[in-house]
């Protein structure tokens, strides 16, 4: 693997501001020099790629490049500047594309795993975490002690709302408590909540968590209920 900028991404022993960088630890399996392998990850996930880039100037590099700040055995620590992330537009998917993106396809790495990540306080304030958490789910489901059981309904797109509702209801009768939905919203519309009103399951509930990949104001307009 010929990484033209690889040595520039090595900042071993340097300290970085934890409030201005996303700091990741990667376990890397490779026959390459671990320093070169770590530099390849930092390169691919920030300002470079497997070959030289004519549009990369010193100003861009200095501001945005990932820095390999530590290597212990086969674990490399890489710091990505906070400026590499666009929370208001890209959100969590864009964060993941930086810290866990193309690196998994790098030729020369037999294996790589994101072991840990530390976020700056400013980024953490932008994502407050689950609104209700496990205690809130237990309260809503009136299930203080028994396990919470979830499954994902497939196909993830195209299933009519009635078929979705029937499947979730039957699964709920069998003990399902959480039914997350992945992928595209498709045609399933407002099938977002199920409550048992009659029959053997009367009185207990099941939460169907629907994804809204669009901005909140679009979700409210299309799915007002």
- Which domains occur in the chain, in start order? 6-126 (3.30.70.150), 133-222 (no CATH)
Asked if residue 186 has pLDDT above 50, the reply is no
Asked if residue 141 has pLDDT above 60, the reply is yes
CA gap 88, 218 in Å, rounded:
15
DSSP 187: T
Q: What is the mean pLDDT of the chain?
A: 80
Mean pLDDT in residue range 27-46: 93
**pLDDT at position 31, please?**
92
Q: What's the pTM?
A: 0.68
Q: Helical H runs in 34-130? A: 34-44, 58-64, 91-99, 121-126
> Residue 190 — very low, low, confident or very high, per pLDDT cuts 50/70/90?
very low
CA dihedral sign of residues 209, 210, 214, 216: negative
**pLDDT at position 196, please?**
52
Q: Tell which residue, 167, 157, 148, has the closest CA to residue 211.
A: 157
84 neighbors 62 (Cβ within 8 angstroms): no
**pLDDT at position 72, please?**
97
CA gap 20, 79 in Å, rounded:
9
The residue written with tokens 């990741």 in the block is: 24
DSSP 27: E
Q: Tell which residue, 41, 16, 19, has the closest CA to residue 30.
A: 41
Separation in Å, CA 178 to CA 24, 53, 61, 141, 185: 31, 47, 45, 9, 17
**pLDDT at position 162, please?**
77
Mean pLDDT in residue range 149-174: 78
Pairwise pLDDT comparison (55 vs 204), residue with the higher score: 55
């Amino acid at each position: 693997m010929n990484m033209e900028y690889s040595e520039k991404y090595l900042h071993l022993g340097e300290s970085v501001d934890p409030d201005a960088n996303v700091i990741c630890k990667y376990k890397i399996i490779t026959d390459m020099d671990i320093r070169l392998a770590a530099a390849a990850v930092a390169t691919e996930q920030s300002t470079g790629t497997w070959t030289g880039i004519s549009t990369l100037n010193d100003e861009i590099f200095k501001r945005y490049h990932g820095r390999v700040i530590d290597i212990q055995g086969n674990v490399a620590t890489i710091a990505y500047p906070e400026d590499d992330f666009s929370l208001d537009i890209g959100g969590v998917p864009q964060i993941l594309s930086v810290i866990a993106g193309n690196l998994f396809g790098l030729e020369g790495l037999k294996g790589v795993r994101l072991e840990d990540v530390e976020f700056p306080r400013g980024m953490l304030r932008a994502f407050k975490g689950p609104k209700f958490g496990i205690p809130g789910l237990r309260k809503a489901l009136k299930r203080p002690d028994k396990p919470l059981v979830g499954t994902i309904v497939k196909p993830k797109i195209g299933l009519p709302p009635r078929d979705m509702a029937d499947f979730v209801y039957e699964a709920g009768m069998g003990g399902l408590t959480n039914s997350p939905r992945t992928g595209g919203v498709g045609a399933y519309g407002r099938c977002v909540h199920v409550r048992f009103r009659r029959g053997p399951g009367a009185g207990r509930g099941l939460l169907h968590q629907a994804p809204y990949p669009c901005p909140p104001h679009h979700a409210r307009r299309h799915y007002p209920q």
